Structure 1
């Protein structure tokens, strides 16, 4: 069974298109040519790149992507791959400001590029800017909105699961035994135990056990079980125990 080498979608696209050539020819200073993918991206993002060549690459890439109707068509994916350097810079700026999962940002970036790709006119000037600008703005909007989101538990589902747990069986009055039973097996030596055996328990644990046994004895086990809290919280009342017939 093969291993997946990457777990980020940007890296998957990089692996696919880095060794590929552009499927369309472009006019360079030396005449018509078919550039490699890396040469095309250097022409798009290099500081000394030819502006006319840059516009032609974007125009051809956008036009091919718009005619590619398959959901995972190679021409659509190629247009996304050409946009990755600009989107990576955007994601880096976002990551320096807010602790947002990079994988979520990458997914949102691709969705934003696909949405913008449908509205770009490939024959217009600066087709690349028309593709990248709305996609980058959408990613920034997504990141800013994500800062106010906090993961919370599904209270309704947790409550249903909590109440679905069967309550412990109640002790019958005839079977209730107020006491402890201890069995100690001494080591196989003639002098028996070599040290004093002492068992201790925190007072709150002992109180909890005694109240639980008492609740079961009185037939209130299920009520107490439903009212239990998973952790310490604010007091909601007090419970006092008095001998039957004693003063209150």
Structure 2
């Protein structure tokens, strides 16, 4: 699968929001108690994830960001919705890396795309003034990534029963196939082992009868190629019988 950039869609969004075309940056006007603050994207993130966090100011950031995104027209440029995803990303990286360490073969791009889709879906149902709005968005996205990873790991290849039956039914079973009027049939009967064929093959044929050619004269090269050490285990028998003969 192809990544859409260094690190995937998360990296694109991380780089994209602070550097939107034309120098346009989403900014938030938040109200906390008697204060009115104008915050840049970087300042908004520091409020949410910085070492000196203000819980009231953080709640105001999420409330205003979600409110602006919900008010954004559907035919708009999507800047407000993209900004909400951008604010949520730092809360997703830890679980993203945990999942990738646990299932190393999973595609990072797919996990990131799943998380973004879940954030956008949760945004449509979010209550801006509800408690811990941002935490709920992040939790939904984290749960979405884990659910996607577990769902993919449970997927296994299965036989296409219809195609298998169709192929089997189209084949002519050996018992029903045309038999030559003169010739020999070869039957190999291995014992019920899981190891497979790996030791001596032994060939048997009926005693020659009058008017019946010795089949042994046609087998030396085959026997030579199939031989193994004389002390090897017997792993099966090969029997030659006239075509159509009773078994």
Same fold (TM over 0.5): yes
1:56 to 36, 47, 60: 60
- Alpha-carbon distance, 1:151 to partner: 3.5
> Which range moves more in the overlay, 24-33 or 102-111?
24-33
TM-superposed CA distance for 1:102, in Å, is: 1.9
Please report the RMSD computed on the Cα atoms of aligned residues, expressed in angstroms: 4.4
1:97–1:159 CA distance, 2 compared to 1 (3 A): same
Partner of residue 85 from structure 2, selected from 80, 86, 98: 80
Q: Normalised by the size of structure 1, how large is the TM-score?
A: 0.56
Structure 1, unaligned stretches of length 5 or more? 164-172, 174-199, 205-236
User: Are residue 67 (structure 1) and residue 71 (structure 2) matched?
Assistant: yes
Per-residue deviation, residues 181-219 of structure 1 (Å, max 9, x unmatched): xxxxxxxxxxxxxxxxxxx99559xxxxxxxxxxxxxxx
More strand by share: 2
Equivalents in 1 of 2:51, 2:166: separation in Å?
60
1:103 is matched with which residue? 109
Separation in 1, partners of 2:162, 2:18: 46
User: Residues 115 and 142 of structure 2 are in contact (CA less than 8 Å); yes or no, is this contact kept in structure 1?
Assistant: yes
Partners of 2:27 and 2:38 within 8 A in 1? no
d(CA) in 2 for partners of 1:152 and 1:14?
A: 36
Q: Which has the higher contact order (CA 8 A, sep 6+)?
A: 2
Would the aligned equivalents of 2:26 and 2:79 in 1 still touch at CA under 8 Å? no
Question: Do 1:22 and 1:34's aligned partners in 2 also have CA atoms closer than 8 Å?
Answer: no
State the SS of the aligned residue for 2:117.
helix
8 Å CA contact retained: 1:68, 1:75? yes
Q: 1:150 to 1:240 in 2, by over 3 A?
A: farther
- Deviation of 1:8 after TM superposition, in Å, equals 1.6
Whether 1:150 and 2:150 are equivalent positions in the alignment is no
Task: Using the TM superposition, name which of 87-96 and 150-159 deviates more.
Answer: 150-159
1:32 alignment partner, SS class: strand
Native 8 Å contact 1:27 1:33 kept in 2: no
Alignment partner of 1:140 is 2:174: no
- Residue 209 of structure 2 corresponds to none
TM-score (norm 2): 0.56
Q: Which moved more, 1:91-100 or 1:151-160?
A: 151-160
How far apart are residue 48 of structure 1 and its match? 0.7
Structure 2, unaligned stretches of length 5 or more? 169-179, 181-221, 228-235
Q: Report how far residue 239 of structure 1 moved.
A: 7.4
Residue of structure 1 equivalent to 2:28: 24
Aligned position for 2:45: 41
